């Protein structure tokens, strides 16, 4: 993700009613935030938020929380949400390394990871959002019946992720190296910003789903 430093973005995040910038105190309270007991789906590394905002509009009975590290990137999603005012959509500005501080056991029903940063150096493998270290974090707050869904055009990262699912002791529900030509898995697919960009360039999109 190319980063544009947007002056004032940090301050806008702190003041905006849809954004949590100090989310550690929120653990166990997300049902109260939404005012209902609907399932909670999160996207980690949501970027500008096209995917999660589209899903929130399509599924009013599911609550969505998008997580993004950078205010300058999150800004686009927040501006859109200021227009749309979707009741079932919130954002957290944080580094997902600390995600277990923010969600309690069984608080989340689904985790989306889309076009996550590849961290190409081996010594940075544990920073990848599909590493066994991250699966161990997800294990702490994802409901038993919940699942992780991951999409990328990066075959190296995808192969690594398939291995990590196994190493983490999770179960691979399904996977494809060409989502857009897989009639079953592509049904109802909502494209992310990166997915649009890379599939227009001719890159096939990989997808896996995993549970425990």
Task: Enumerate residues 144-183 that contact ligand SAM by CB under 6 A.
Answer: none
Q: Which is nearer to ligand SAM, 97 or 182 (CB)?
A: 97
The distance in angstroms from the start CA to the end CA of the chain is: 31
The CA angle 91-198-209, to the nearest 5 degrees, is: 60
- Select the residue interacting with ligand SAM from 13, 42, 47, 91 (CB under 6 A): 47
Tell me, yes or no, if 117 is annotated catalytic. Answer: yes
List phi, psi (to 5°) of 48.
-85, -5
Q: Does 110 bind ligand SAM (CB under 6 A)?
A: no
Catalytic-role residue among 104, 109, 117, 211:
117
Chain centroid to CA 46: how far? 5
Q: Do 195 and 161 form a contact (C-beta atoms < 8 A)?
A: no
Nearest-approach distance from CB 131 to ligand SAM, in angstroms: 11
| Residue 96 within binding range of ligand SAM, rule CB under 6 A | yes
Place of tokens 């592509």: 186
**Beta carbon of residue 95, minimum distance to ligand SAM (angstroms, whole number):** 5
| Position among 40, 42, 55, 73 found at the interface with ligand SAM (CB under 6 A) | 73
The two tokens of residue 206 are 């990989």
Residue from 167, 151, 160, 132 nearest 199 by CA: 151
- Candidates 81, 114, 131, 161: give the one binding ligand SAM (CB under 6 A): 114
- Closer residue to ligand SAM (CB): 35 or 200: 200
Upper half-sphere CA count for residue 181 (Cβ side, 13 Å)? 7
Give the residue from 163, 169, 175, 181 showing the smallest Cα distance to 208. 175
Strands 89-93 and 206-211: unpaired
| Cα dihedral value 51, 175, 196, 6, nearest 10 | 50
Residue from 56, 67, 89, 208 binding ligand SAM (CB under 6 A) = 67
Sole window of 13-21, 94-102, 156-164, 177-185 interacting with ligand SAM (rule: CB under 6 A): 94-102
What is the nearest approach in angstroms of ligand SAM to the Cβ of residue 194?
4
Residue number, 43 or 107, with CB nearest to ligand SAM: 43
Catalytic residues: 117
**Which residues contact ligand SAM (rule: CB under 6 A)?**
1, 45-47, 67-70, 73, 95-97, 114-115, 117, 192-195
């Amino acid at each position: 993700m190319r980063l544009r430093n947007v002056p004032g973005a940090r301050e806008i995040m702190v003041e905006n009613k849809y954004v949590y910038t100090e989310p550690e105190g929120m653990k166990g309270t997300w049902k109260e935030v939404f005012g209902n007991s609907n399932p909670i789906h999160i996207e980690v590394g949501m970027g500008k938020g096209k995917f999660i905002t589209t899903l929130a509009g399509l599924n009013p009975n599911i609550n969505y929380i998008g997580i993004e590290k950078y205010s300058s990137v999150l800004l686009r999603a927040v501006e859109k949400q200021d227009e749309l005012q979707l009741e079932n959509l919130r954002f957290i500005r944080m580094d997902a390394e600390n995600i277990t501080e923010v969600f309690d056991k069984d608080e989340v029903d689904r985790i989306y990871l889309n076009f996550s940063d590849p961290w190409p150096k081996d010594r940075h493998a544990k920073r990848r959002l599909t590493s066994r270290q991250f699966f161990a974090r997800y294990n702490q707050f994802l409901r038993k019946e919940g699942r992780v869904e991951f999409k990328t055009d990066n075959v190296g990262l995808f192969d690594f992720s398939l291995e990590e699912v196994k190493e983490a002791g999770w179960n691979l529900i399904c996977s494809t190296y060409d989502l857009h030509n897989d009639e079953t898995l592509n049904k109802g697919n909502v494209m992310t910003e990166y997915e649009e960009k890379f599939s227009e360039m001719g890159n096939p999109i990989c997808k896996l789903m995993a549970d425990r």
